[in-house]
Structure 1
């Protein structure tokens, strides 16, 4: 029998903060409690039929059964460029400024491997999508955390980053509309980021997965709309949330050609590209009628209003989000994020995500995803109403 020892990179991973939640969830299920999960950001509505039909047709073509291009089909990259021009009025060269991803998570995890050396620094938001920090760690770098605070509208305070850290940093990860806080960025903030990047020679990696999930007429901007942005970085996008395609694993990165090329080099050595039939379905999604996106957002708006209005009526401090399908809720006084998450699960069968699971600066909050229908969302409010807090 050989001895199995995990690598240092795995040993050094942050602890799995949701392990206790999973244990409690199993216990609650065993009691026969009806679980309502608002914990995972996975859309519950199906992928639109025209996208599924495009996949079905493409999957029968033997030409699509071969190895795909490492960096994406020309046709898909061209569709990405068309979509960016139409949606954001941003011009892209599909041959140099677009790379296809097996979901944006894959690209986000791999980008540090292209630019981070042992001991290098990346600027990472806290709270934030855990993959930013983990990708940096896997590449041998270290993260300097930029705390997102309520008093700063959950935007990082660039002036609070020490000069010596800024000068050493290679990458900065930002994400707006934001997961988990649902905050949105201002034009002024993006301008400040571009100026900061130029001053300190930092590559900006903007995670724009939620730009199409917006409400009340609000249209989130692309970072690349900002003058000079394409000179300093790239933007990650995904079809997952926009078209309810989380399981399909298709996304893309766009922007500075040298950065796109570096990411493409990593991908060509690690993966073999996205299945062409799925890329063809992606073309149907990007080029097709976008009314399905409007319909999804209308449904999310109704769910948001039920949940936020209900929680506000119960005395919770919560701001109605303008984008994403997350609601960022302050926990009642006297509770930590983990304690309140545990209370909701054990007393009501409602699963939420503790804010500290996204970084220490998320302590004091929970994240609730709008991933159940309106009637179930009403039930969420009523179950919480029944609990003595």
Structure 2
């Protein structure tokens, strides 16, 4: 109950801005209603790779968890002392892979049989799939003096300079959006302006600006400019980009980044890029960090995440940011006052995937490419019109039809609700005039293909 005493409201009521409906909660409610009505569900919605993390990630995570070392289990803050301590201990132990396998096999008396079986499967994975040379096992245990720097270098294709560049580990990249905005707030004050790619796109930057009372604008992202809005650059205080892009799957080019970096450097704009999908992109994708290092007066930062590497590491909440020393230094100051870092064993598992199974990440990307082509072909066959054809990620982005199932469509939420209830195909209505689908599930099975075919045929969309 809310009351007013003078000019001050008292009582229990939300202090947040109006609106802010969680779209994914709406989608889950639609799914629940469809399931209750007996509709079989075919998930094409949330951007979370299915299944468990790769065995190598889980295995190294367990080893780190079992290590009797205070650094591994303590606060990580703005560093990763636990990751450094683990790989240092592993190197000193000189334990060969064969002995690790023997220990797993010898644990049959205290572990369930399926755990032992997975351990044996892991040995096969290590020695077979990855073709590990057991005479060079010391390479497995190379030390890790700086987790964030190594994590970043696994993403970029050039060697970043030692000078004027700073690295910072992150407990996932989502909370970093707030840190990045706050890292600019004091300099620009109440007149600070932010431009982002949140409409259509990942809504968190816009949401954080709303919560913080900071003016915010979005870039016009259309089929005409191919989600590369160089024709709509405005002077602001912080520019927040997202390439590879969610939801369009578009990638940044060398020419694009040169134009953006030139504009930001000349106008004193801080430039940030969310590169969470960097590992799910073709070779021609260009990262901000690969260009920004050539601009000595540019204040810039770029973040990377383990969540979207293809293998399911979404729950590990591990990432890192790199950038100019001034910008990342400010982010570190804010972060140091807001969180205490990630869980070190989770970061050990993530680094193990990047070190020892990079070809597996590439296989995931190739799988998503194949699924994208399959879904794109079926959807267009039955009349769906793409905004743009995806070049990266596992998302695809579609124009909203005017009619479906014989009725006029009000907006994307209405369309999504109709499709879910009538066919079980679940999308995400990120924008009123467009719908997003994701191919994280195995859509290549005969059953899933048939569901997509029959679903869009039944929808009978009209533009």
Question: Cα distance, 1:77 vs. partner?
Answer: 7.1
1:364 counterpart residue number:
433
Question: Cα distance, 1:52 vs. partner?
Answer: 1.2
Map 1:282-361 → 2, pairs under 5 A: 282-318=350-386, 319-334=388-403, 335=409, 336-356=411-431
- Inter-partner Cα distance in structure 1 for 2:25 and 2:308: 25
Give deviations 1:212-242, integer Å, cap 9, x for gaps.
1135xx4422111115357320001001111
Whether 1:220 and 2:285 are equivalent positions in the alignment is yes
Map 1:7-26 → 2, pairs under 5 A: 7=15, 10-12=16-18, 14-17=20-23, 20-26=26-32
Question: Cα distance, 1:282 vs. partner?
Answer: 2.5
Flag the structure with larger Rg: 2
Per the alignment, in what secondary structure is the counterpart of residue 98 of structure 1? strand
Per the alignment, in what secondary structure is the counterpart of residue 152 of structure 1? coil
Per the alignment, in what secondary structure is the counterpart of residue 355 of structure 1? strand
Q: 1:287 to 1:19 in 2, by over 3 A?
A: closer
Structure 1 gap segments, 5+ residues each? 357-362
Per the alignment, in what secondary structure is the counterpart of residue 57 of structure 2? helix
Q: 1:58 to 1:21 in 2, by over 3 A?
A: closer
Whether the 8 Å CA contact 2:152–2:320 is kept in 1: the answer is: no
Give deviations 1:251-305, integer Å, cap 9, x for gaps.
1111111111111111111111111112222321232230111211222122112
2:138 counterpart residue number:
none
2:245 counterpart residue number:
178
Q: 1:83 to 1:90 in 2, by over 3 A?
A: farther
Whether the 8 Å CA contact 2:147–2:169 is kept in 1: the answer is: no
Whether the 8 Å CA contact 2:307–2:316 is kept in 1: the answer is: yes
Whether the 8 Å CA contact 1:90–1:224 is kept in 2: the answer is: no
Map 1:19-168 → 2, pairs under 5 A: 20-63=26-69, 64-73=72-81, 75=84, 78-82=146-150, 84-85=152-153, 87-91=156-160, 93=162, 97-116=166-185, 117-125=189-197, 126-157=199-230, 159-162=231-234, 166=235
Give deviations 1:62-104, integer Å, cap 9, x for gaps.
3222222333347467344345446421315499611111101
CA RMSD across the alignment:
2.4
> Aligned residue pairs: how many?
373
- Inter-partner Cα distance in structure 1 for 2:304 and 2:163: 15
2:94 counterpart residue number:
none
- Inter-partner Cα distance in structure 2 for 1:137 and 1:5: 18
TM-score computed with the length of structure 2 as normaliser: 0.75
2:301 counterpart residue number:
234
- Inter-partner Cα distance in structure 2 for 1:219 and 1:293: 17
1:254 counterpart residue number:
322
Whether the 8 Å CA contact 2:151–2:320 is kept in 1: the answer is: no
- Inter-partner Cα distance in structure 1 for 2:252 and 2:365: 19
Q: 1:354 to 1:121 in 2, by over 3 A?
A: same
Whether 1:267 and 2:335 are equivalent positions in the alignment is yes
Q: 1:68 to 1:133 in 2, by over 3 A?
A: same
Whether the 8 Å CA contact 2:42–2:426 is kept in 1: the answer is: yes
Q: 1:138 to 1:62 in 2, by over 3 A?
A: farther
Q: 1:41 to 1:58 in 2, by over 3 A?
A: same
Q: 1:287 to 1:295 in 2, by over 3 A?
A: same
